[in-house]
Structure 1
Amino acid sequence: MTRAGLSPLAWLDEYARQRRAAGLRRELRARPPVGTELDLASNDYLGLAQHPEVIEGAVAAVRTWGAGSTGSRLVTGNTELHEKFERALADFVGFESALVFSSGYTANIGAVVSLTGPDALLVSDALTHASLIDACRLSRARVVVTPHRDVAAVEGALAERTEQRAVVVTESVFSADGDLAPLRELHEVCRRHGALLLVDEAHGLGVRGAGGRGLLHEVGLAGAPDVVMTATMSKALGSQGGAVLGPAAVRDHLIDTARTFIFDTGLAPAAVGAAGAALRVLTAEPWRAAAVLRHARTLAEVCDVAEPPESAVVSVILGEPEVALAAAGACLERGLRVGCFRPPTVPAGTSRLRLTARASLTEDEMALARSVLTDVLSARA
């Protein structure tokens, strides 16, 4: 058959077959509004997505501003609600300014691309999130990927650079393993070499630091003039959207240059209203951050995880994709929903159950989790 007679999408069938054989086929599963299973898979770390005050924050914003933001924030999509939330978030975590994007993904791309370019070096941890990887690819900067949490490798890359500018990129809390970046050490290296440190606090905000202010705040780097923070409101704050925080000059620069801000419709008012309400709840109830870590430690003990968790994430490595899928399925049959991470999200041979602790877990829910996880994991020992 000539090429003219072939479907341009014929290759998809073979691609899907190969992924299915490798245990890497993914499916969408709709969840009901009120789940019947105990959820230890979501990133709703503080239990705020269903909090009455957070829901009311979303509803009040819709009543005032409408369902959509109606355009780019530079045209009609900016509201007093957006700017009020930006000020509150910046004050909470300790930075001079904040700029809200439509997602954490677009915030990371906007920040990295706008703060680098062809005359810059980007040094990125090997296990950073896909949004940061994509941002590095789009930046047109020279990119050096360093081994996970390897400060010496970062210093080596900076010491050898010929570029005018340099940016070091890391997550504060790594999303798959839940371990922490050595932020103080990285910052010291950046200072020695005149580099900017850009930290994604997606999994740190609401969990680490005093009252959930993040790992940068915890280690005394919030508001530093050579540090930029990115965050998402879709995890601990139970809403949607992203933000970049840093010196006011960074906010001004992003408004002028970040394509994911300039050409994207502004974050919907409902999401901004919900995030603002969640921030107020967290400020009034700082116990939530400590509760997340306490529940995470209990889950780790149940799963016989060697290292005590440093975040909401408890990673139970089982090996091959089929093994992890089977374990996740067995948990679900018993009424417990857990995350299942497989390549390319994690390296080959490290497919795992990813459990996420939540501040609002009750004693009965923790007892259920203990029972199910003990049975399922002991059956695979």
Structure 2
Amino acid sequence: MAEHIDPLDELRAGLGELDASGLRRRRRIVTTPCQPDTRLADRAGPIVAFCSNDYLGLAAEPAIAEAVRRGSLRWGSGSGASHLVSGHYAVHEALEQRLATFTGMDAALYFSTGYMANIGVMPALVGRGDAIFADKVNHASLVDGALLSRAEFIRYPHCDLAALEGRLAASRAPRKLIVTDGVFSMDGDIAPLPQLLALAEAHQAWLLVDDAHGFGVLGPQGRGCLAHFGLASPRLIYMGTLGKAAGLSGAFVAGQRDVIDWLLNKARSYIFTTGAPPMLADGLLTALDLIEQGDERRAHLNALIARFRAGLGLRRWQLLPSETPIQPVVIGDNHAALAVSQALDAEGLWVPAIRPPTVPKGSARLRIVLSAAHSIEQVDRLVDTLQRLEAAQA
């Protein structure tokens, strides 16, 4: 007879193992709006946050808050039903049309979150007997979407085009889908999208691009990584999130009209969930205007990125190559990365340590994120503190 295991004791033991390996995660309570000058419930003084994905500084933008306020008065608090029942409002429709125009696509579909978009799109396009080809460091939502599809899940080494080409050529799957982040969230590098699209077209595959971290930042007027490379193709399916550079909440998928109509009918995470509050769509329409008019914000952000990279001279830690606001500093050991994060915290700088399984084992890092809302002085302070902490640990 199998020995009885108390499930609560098992969970407690598992939490102890997470503690011992430096992998237990804990939340911090923020008591101010999303902004660089932040206050936390667990510390007395202010702290400068270098961890938010609010790339353009729009999360606390008064114009967006006012648009949401007006939207709440016009539409109320909730949508009341799924989009396919009675929860699709005129402002949702206006948002989808605006997103399609902004990204240069035929049509767009608004999802409640980026995670829901990815786990909805992939199973709707491919299934058993088909094949998904995925970059090995893709976001977890792309991994989960692939597993939910029940298609063969084929991973290729990070940005290794030759390996991907070999796997595509060897596949006999009737339907093929290549999936990649546009900007990789933990490394900050940009996927080689022109070459990926060429492979997709050569092998009659779809190319799904998750541009969570490029939308609003890259390309003319912040139109994203496809615009950054000047790409257009009927094989492209574009996913962008609206809770990062757009400063609010939600996500969208854009592409050929037939593709979007198919997803509307087949993406389970779209069909079987209550529509997002319509007041958020009002805020997002204002956010899109600010993104489109945001060249000055993007110029300041790019200047901060250049200043940070030029100023940070590290001897033992590794600053990964990145031209995006995501600037990872790899330390390696989990406990060491936590210690540096805590030392930065003591200096009034909030930079979380990112550890496995979010990043590969042995590559624990500081994920530094810059925003157009940061000042030059704040970035210089971070550079000086990082260099001093590295020297002190030599």
Common fold by TM > 0.5: yes
Is the contact between residue 208 and residue 236 of structure 2 (CA under 8 Å) also seen in structure 1?
A: yes
Letter in 1 for 2:235: D
Q: Does 1:358 align with 2:367?
A: no
Partner SS, residue 8 of structure 2: coil
State the Cα deviation string for residues 244-282 of structure 1 (Å, max 9, x = none).
110011110011100000001112224322222111111
Match of 2:251 among 226, 242, 246: 242
Aligned to 1:104: 114
**What CA distance in whole angstroms lies between the structure 2 residues aligned with 1:59 and 1:333?**
37
**What CA distance in whole angstroms lies between the structure 2 residues aligned with 1:256 and 1:237?**
27
Is the contact between residue 78 and residue 277 of structure 2 (CA under 8 Å) also seen in structure 1?
A: yes
Q: Does 1:50 align with 2:60?
A: yes
Aligned to 1:343: 356
State the Cα deviation string for residues 192-225 of structure 1 (Å, max 9, x = none).
1111111000011111111211111111214x21
Residue pairs, 1:8-27, within 5 angstroms: 8-27=7-26
Structure 1 pair 301–378 and aligned structure 2 pair: CA distance change class (3 A):
farther
User: Once the 2 structures are TM-superposed, how far is the Cα of residue 68 of structure 1 from its aligned partner?
Assistant: 1.6
Is the contact between residue 124 and residue 170 of structure 1 (CA under 8 Å) also seen in structure 2?
A: yes
User: Once the 2 structures are TM-superposed, how far is the Cα of residue 71 of structure 1 from its aligned partner?
Assistant: 1.6
Match of 1:68 among 54, 78, 88: 78
Aligned to 2:42: none
**What CA distance in whole angstroms lies between the structure 1 residues aligned with 2:342 and 2:64?**
32
Structure 1 pair 173–2 and aligned structure 2 pair: CA distance change class (3 A):
closer
**What CA distance in whole angstroms lies between the structure 1 residues aligned with 2:21 and 2:190?**
31
**What CA distance in whole angstroms lies between the structure 2 residues aligned with 1:208 and 1:283?**
11
User: Once the 2 structures are TM-superposed, how far is the Cα of residue 291 of structure 1 from its aligned partner?
Assistant: 2.6
Structure 1 range deviating more: 26-35 or 184-193: 26-35
**What CA distance in whole angstroms lies between the structure 2 residues aligned with 1:178 and 1:308?**
8
Residue pairs, 1:140-289, within 5 angstroms: 140-222=150-232, 224-289=233-298
**What CA distance in whole angstroms lies between the structure 1 residues aligned with 2:319 and 2:186?**
16
Aligned to 2:43: none
**What CA distance in whole angstroms lies between the structure 1 residues aligned with 2:390 and 2:66?**
40
Match of 2:336 among 315, 323, 328: 323
Structure 2: gaps spanning 5 or more residues: 39-45
Is the contact between residue 303 and residue 316 of structure 1 (CA under 8 Å) also seen in structure 2?
A: no
User: Once the 2 structures are TM-superposed, how far is the Cα of residue 306 of structure 1 from its aligned partner?
Assistant: 5.4
Partner SS, residue 69 of structure 2: helix
User: Once the 2 structures are TM-superposed, how far is the Cα of residue 371 of structure 1 from its aligned partner?
Assistant: 3.2
Structure 1 range deviating more: 332-341 or 17-26: 332-341
Is the contact between residue 74 and residue 262 of structure 1 (CA under 8 Å) also seen in structure 2?
A: yes
Q: CA RMSD in A?
A: 1.7
State the Cα deviation string for residues 225-258 of structure 1 (Å, max 9, x = none).
1100111101110111111110011110011100
State the Cα deviation string for residues 20-39 of structure 1 (Å, max 9, x = none).
00000111111112522111
Structure 1 range deviating more: 293-302 or 10-19: 293-302
Structure 1 range deviating more: 39-48 or 74-83: 74-83
Is the contact between residue 207 and residue 293 of structure 1 (CA under 8 Å) also seen in structure 2?
A: no
User: Once the 2 structures are TM-superposed, how far is the Cα of residue 298 of structure 1 from its aligned partner?
Assistant: 2.1
**What CA distance in whole angstroms lies between the structure 2 residues aligned with 1:140 and 1:200?**
20
TM-score, normalised on structure 2?
0.92
Moved over 4 A (4+): 1-4, 305-308
TM-score, normalised on structure 1?
0.95
Structure 1 range deviating more: 315-324 or 302-311: 302-311
Match of 1:116 among 117, 126, 130: 126
Partner SS, residue 178 of structure 2: strand
Partner SS, residue 250 of structure 1: helix
Letter in 2 for 1:350: S
Partner SS, residue 228 of structure 1: strand
Letter in 2 for 1:294: A
Match of 1:37 among 33, 47, 61: 47
Match of 1:133 among 143, 154, 166: 143
Is the contact between residue 320 and residue 327 of structure 2 (CA under 8 Å) also seen in structure 1?
A: no
Letter in 2 for 1:237: A
**What CA distance in whole angstroms lies between the structure 1 residues aligned with 2:392 and 2:75?**
53
